[in-house]
Chains A and B, each alone.
Chain A
Amino acid sequence: MHELLLFASVPAHQHHELLQQLAGLTAMQPRHRLERRVIYKAYRKPGLINTRVGASQDLQGHDMQRLNKMLNGGMFYTQVVGPVSEADFGAQSPSEDPDAPMSGTDAEEGSGNHLYNYENQPWKLEFRDIPEAGTRSAVTSRLMASASLPKGDISTPMNAWGYSYVTEYAVEGDAFILNDIVIFLHRVLHYPTEQESHAPRRQLPPFQQMSPLERTGSYVLQASITVQDGGNQEMMRTASQHLFGLREQLKSAVRLEQADRLSLDTRAK
């Protein structure tokens, strides 16, 4: 699948107004989204690279070439996305030891009896390639793929697949749907203390303690459209036409534009 994107930066003071405008444009109420995102980095397991061990000639067939390509191909960062609700922030986990002092009182006051169960957290793996280079079109387009993952602890399967934990952040925002376009007005939130950890958090801090990545509190407006078959030139053109149409419609409010290609580089060096 391919994804076509346009971005705009929205200052904090314009946020409310833009929400109203988008609600009017798309004729729907915003769908609030809160996601925790975990970034993983692919690494090569030692000892697996060298495939030219055997002297046997017939092994160098098609399968071998494919395997070589897979093993020696580029390595990418990839992220795992899990939807959460605001009540999950600061909530206690159900099996938590009552003696543990970790933000316990805060959570009880803030969220009543709501519990956040990490074992039931659904996850989705999202792979995004580096945007295509040299396209003459004025939209960012990149290869993408998403897959559902098992619920609960995600580190074990990810480690088994050759990914190591890098960091974790959260995204909060509102999504709108306009025909085929998903408009996502969001901002990135950081967790309060960057603890040295090698796995995603099992418990979320209170939402008030999350700090926006952008100090001014500004938002990012992302308009995206996915295309089933990136090789279908006509579909790609239609999709970018739709995005340009949206850009024209929003021209008086925000300026949607292509993102810098290298800032969306997901390759792991």
Chain B
Amino acid sequence: MSENFSLPLRPLVEKPERPDSLPVEIAQINAQYGSFRDVTEESLRAKIEADKNKDPWSEEDDGEKELSDEDTAERLDQLYKKRAAITQFALQAHMETSFALDFISLLLSKNTPVQAEMSMSPYLKQVAPLGSLNAEVIHPPPKTEAAVNDTKSVARGWRLQNFNSAANKLLDSATRLESAVESETKYWNEVLAVKAKGWKVCRLPRERQALGVQYGFLEATPMFRDRGLAALRRTNDGSLLLDKGLIPLKARTVRVRVKSHGQLTGCSKRRPTTEDADSTESRILQARDTVYEEELFHELVREARILGSQGVTTRQNLVRFPVSEEQEVLLDLVDDGHELLADDEPTSHEHDPVADALAHSVRILLAYAHRQNLRRRTQPPPPLSPKRRQTPEYQLLRPVMAYLQHSSHVRWLESLLNDVNQVLKSAGLTSDFTCTPFSSLNFKRFNSSVPKVEALVQEFLLPYESTFSGKLVCPQSSFRTKVRTNVVTPPFGTHYDISVNVPQYPEIRPPNRIGLQDEAAWVLTHFVLLDILTAICQVKATGDKKKEGLLTWQAAYPHDGELMAVSSTGQCRKMKVSLSRHELTVDVYAIREIDAFRRPAATKTSTIRSHTWKLGDAAGQPSLEDFVAEVSKP
């Protein structure tokens, strides 16, 4: 069938060959408006104006308005009146039909008396005997030609009118149908486009006739899981509308900021705005991101609450945790489009990469938690018991905090050891250390039962450990320090495990698990000091011929850094060595008397020589060895 086939719906209207003759029209105007003598231009204009202003429905509207103004009593009254009128009409109609019934029954009673009697009213039966009315067909006189024509044209007019209105209705519905088809096509094309992009399209559970798209995360907390479904509604013009119900449309993001010394020094990047922000795809993406971000923040707050003991504080819309004494990290949920306030503006962008890395890590950790949820959900469940399983807080903040804390401690220890090393080097002593940060991370122990991505993240959930090992001044002495940070299971925080091998002082052991930096620094420098003392003593003990005749130093009070030397002439010298992160000082005193306990009489001392090696001193200074040789001359 040809596509262009069209069916004329409107009847053909034949134009009258001749318009009405003028006399006919004049007669009509005369009949309608009266004599031409009264028609003036003004009156015609007035009439046109009046017609224009007149609203065809105005009368009814007025009536309604009045009706609405009337008070209740009047309306009630009116209601009763109307009801009475309706009843009256109904009664009248009933009466007329019973008259008609009686009439027909009486007429039929001539031919079928038994049947007709049944439908007659009792009154009629009494008054009129059966069969007292008859009817006969009579032939009406033939109508005149004019009357027949009249009837014909009237009938034709009616028919035309009806055809016209039917055609109008059909055409109207056709256009309506066409626009409906158009908008439906548009809608379904968009739905298919959404589906083609890989989104899950399904019926809404509560509204079976509506379509929805699922963009949420199945393993999220039920509250957020259920929010991951939005209806795909059709607007009047057929375009797709993502209806998320009561959830605000704004996109929100978790923002990470780093604050050092009270100044904001870093802020995570904002999500780049897509060029095509109004497309359905990007709106779905935005909705998905927002639900993820909100869940992330919800979980962050939930976790932060159990970490109160570790210095994490929460405000209504802020989670704050300290990294080191001068640095802290702030996490908050902000609207995407929101402009930074003046006091929110970071003063520098020094820590932007850190903030970005933190923002990425908490998101990765949430994704990992989702995977863990799936794993837990698909395990055979434990028997049903009144005690409900509680979902533990996800590990989002804890690994991040541990990492930051740990690396800050490791960097501190490294700089301490570097400083001490520098000081020793300037004094001509050699020592060396190696640092293996995050030695606990081992990416080789992946087992095949866990997907690689999960195994990778799992590594970062274990306690962190870094090791430092090195040699001290004496060739036999060495030290080894382990820095452990654990924020998941107690003991929380960072601990230093120091073990040293100083053969001269085998009975001296450092305390286990040192928690404070100062203490750890003290312990380390103390051992270096002891080692230096040993070195000084050893130099003399193994002294070669050249140095013969020099004084021999012995450690008198090693823990105070004091050495004594007694010459053959009974002259006594004391050397005090002190070591700190910044300098190494050696003071030499001459002492005249020694009491029974070889304790120098403190009052009678006088400084002979003193030398200090400072951090960052240029080379070319006398080495410690030279200095000692110098002061050892009798």
Contact = CB atoms under 8 A, between A and B. Distances in A.
Contacts of B218: 27
B384 A28 contact: no
Contacts of A182: 380-381
A228 interface: yes
A238 B386 CA distance: 10
Interface string A217-246: 000000001111100101100110000000
A139 to B, nearest CB: 13
A257 B385 CA distance: 24
A180 B380 CA distance: 8
A177 B381 CA distance: 8
Interface in A194-235: 225-229, 232, 234-235
A40 B166 CA distance: 84
Contact of A180 (B374, B378, B381, B386): B381
A93 to B, nearest CB: 24
A66 interface: no
Contacts of B386: 232, 234-235
Contact of A179 (B374, B379, B381, B385): B381
Contacts of A235: 384-386
B374 A28 contact: yes
A173 to B, nearest CB: 14
Interface in A17-57: 27-28, 31
A1 interface: yes
Interface centre among B379, B384, B386 (most CB of A within 10 A): B384
Contacts of A227: 383-385
A226 B383 contact: yes
A111 to B, nearest CB: 19
A204 B383 CA distance: 32
Interface string B375-401: 001111101111000000000000000
Secondary structure at chain A's binding surface: helix, strand, loop or mixed?
mixed
Contacts of A181: 381
B380 A229 contact: no
A223 to B, nearest CB: 13
B385 A28 contact: no
A177 B384 contact: no
B378 A238 contact: no
A1 B384 CA distance: 9
Contacts of A180: 381, 384
Nearest to A30: B378
B381 A1 contact: no
B581 to A, nearest CB: 58
A228 B385 contact: yes
Interface string A155-198: 00000000000000000000101011110000000000000000
B150 to A, nearest CB: 68
Contacts of A177: 377-381
A156 to B, nearest CB: 29
Nearest to B387: A228
Contacts of A232: 386
Interface residues on chain B, size class: 10 to 19
Contacts of A229: 385
Contacts of B381: 177, 179-182
A179 B380 CA distance: 9
A70 B378 CA distance: 38
A8 to B, nearest CB: 20
Contacts of B383: 1, 226-228
Interface centre among A175, A225, A228, A238 (most CB of B within 10 A): A228
Contacts of B378: 28, 31, 177
Contacts of A226: 383-384
A228 B377 contact: no
Contacts of B385: 227-229, 235
Contacts of B380: 175, 177, 182
A236 to B, nearest CB: 9
A246 to B, nearest CB: 14
B175 to A, nearest CB: 40
A31 to B, nearest CB: 7
A107 B381 CA distance: 36
B377 A239 contact: no
A240 to B, nearest CB: 11
A227 B381 CA distance: 11
Nearest to B218: A27
B380 to A, nearest CB: 6
A227 B383 CA distance: 5
Nearest to B374: A28
Contact of B384 (A31, A175, A225): A225
Contacts of B379: 177
Contacts of B384: 180, 225-228, 235, 238-239
Nearest to A177: B378
A189 B89 CA distance: 83
A27 B214 CA distance: 13
Nearest to B385: A228
A235 B377 CA distance: 20
Interface centre among B218, B378, B379, B386 (most CB of A within 10 A): B378
Contacts of A175: 380
Nearest to A176: B378
A180 B384 CA distance: 7
A231 to B, nearest CB: 12
A229 B381 CA distance: 15
Nearest to A179: B381
Nearest to B219: A27
A225 B381 CA distance: 9
Interface string B142-174: 000000000000000000000000000000000
A182 B380 CA distance: 7
A213 B590 CA distance: 104
A235 B385 CA distance: 7
Nearest to A232: B386
A227 B384 CA distance: 4
A232 to B, nearest CB: 7
Contacts of B377: 28, 177
A241 to B, nearest CB: 11
Interface centre among B377, B379, B383, B386 (most CB of A within 10 A): B383
A181 B384 CA distance: 10
B562 to A, nearest CB: 67
A102 B446 CA distance: 38
Nearest to A184: B380
B349 to A, nearest CB: 43
A28 B385 CA distance: 24
A141 to B, nearest CB: 12
B225 to A, nearest CB: 10
A230 B564 CA distance: 83
A23 B377 CA distance: 13
Interface of A: 1, 27-28, 31, 175, 177, 179-182, 225-229, 232, 234-235, 238-239
| Closest 6 A/B residue pairs (Cβ) | A228-B385, A226-B383, A228-B383, A227-B384, A28-B378, A180-B381
22 contacts: A1-B383, A28-B377, A28-B378, A31-B378, A175-B380, A177-B377, A177-B378, A177-B380, A180-B384, A182-B380, A226-B384, A227-B383, A227-B384, A227-B385, A228-B383, A228-B384, A228-B385, A229-B385, A232-B386, A234-B386, A235-B384, A238-B384
Given A227-B383, A232-B386, 12 more contacts: A28-B378, A177-B378, A179-B381, A180-B381, A181-B381, A182-B381, A226-B383, A227-B384, A227-B385, A228-B384, A228-B385, A235-B384
